[in-house]
């Protein structure tokens, strides 16, 4: 694939979206970067996953710096998650490389749908719980 100016600008734009969404919502860049690379750039799922993992490093560091300034980073919890995550990342990558790209694409899509539905459901339930705890004065129409 030759890198023309319009394509380079499109890729930079995707990087801007990844950085913004990663820091804004706390999502890994893979939720945006992998589908972008597969669907818009026509790259394989394997290449998209590997490249996305590399892009996450500087993006995550920038997001951590901004969140840390407000006190919203738990290094202790991050350490414990990293202990499990680093080792299992090697295993997960090895497994992914043994699976056909078409199967990975379907699994990735299913994962996004399930997690999106779960997150939306959790948000609705949280809103309902907050509304049910309001006092009668707060819900009264004036």
Tens of pLDDT, residues 49-85: 999 999 888 888 888 999 999 999 999 999 999 999 9
- Distant-in-sequence, close-in-space partners of 36: CB < 8 Å, separation ≥ 6: 14, 17, 48
Q: What's CA 85's distance to the chain center, in Å?
A: 15
Q: Compute φ and ψ for 3, nearest 5 degrees.
A: -95, 95
**136 belongs to a structural domain:** no
In which domain, by residue range, is 79 found?
A: 7-131
Q: Compute φ and ψ for 98, nearest 5 degrees.
A: -95, -10
**1 belongs to a structural domain:** no
Per-residue pLDDT tens over the stretch 6-31: 999 999 998 898 888 877 887 767 88
Distance separating alpha carbons of residues 43 and 60, to the nearest angstrom = 23
Binned at pLDDT 50, 70 and 90, residue 142 comes out as very low
**141 belongs to a structural domain:** no
Distance separating alpha carbons of residues 74 and 140, to the nearest angstrom = 40
**140 belongs to a structural domain:** no
**112 belongs to a structural domain:** yes
Total-model pTM: 0.72
**102 belongs to a structural domain:** yes
| Residue 120: half-sphere exposure toward Cβ, Cα within 13 Å | 6
Distance separating alpha carbons of residues 30 and 44, to the nearest angstrom = 14
**137 belongs to a structural domain:** no
How many domains does the chain divide into? 1
Q: Compute φ and ψ for 74, nearest 5 degrees.
A: -105, 100
The pLDDT score that the predictor gives to residue 63 is 86
**23 belongs to a structural domain:** yes
Q: Which two tokens stand for residue 20?
A: 């913004």
């Amino acid at each position: 694939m030759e890198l023309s100016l319009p394509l380079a600008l499109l890729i930079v734009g995707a990087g801007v979206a990844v950085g913004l969404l990663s820091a804004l919502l706390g999502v890994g860049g893979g939720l945006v970067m992998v589908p972008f690379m597969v669907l818009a750039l026509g790259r394989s799922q394997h290449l998209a996953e590997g490249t996305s993992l590399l892009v996450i490093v500087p993006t995550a560091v920038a997001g951590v710096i901004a969140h840390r300034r407000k006190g919203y980073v738990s290094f202790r919890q991050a350490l414990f998650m990293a202990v499990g995550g680093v080792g299992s990342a090697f295993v997960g990558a090895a497994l992914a490389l043994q699976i056909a790209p078409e199967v990975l694409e379907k699994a990735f899509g299913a994962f996004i749908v399930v997690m999106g539905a779960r997150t939306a459901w959790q948000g609705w339930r949280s809103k309902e719980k907050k509304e049910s705890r309001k006092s009668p004065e707060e819900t009264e129409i004036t």
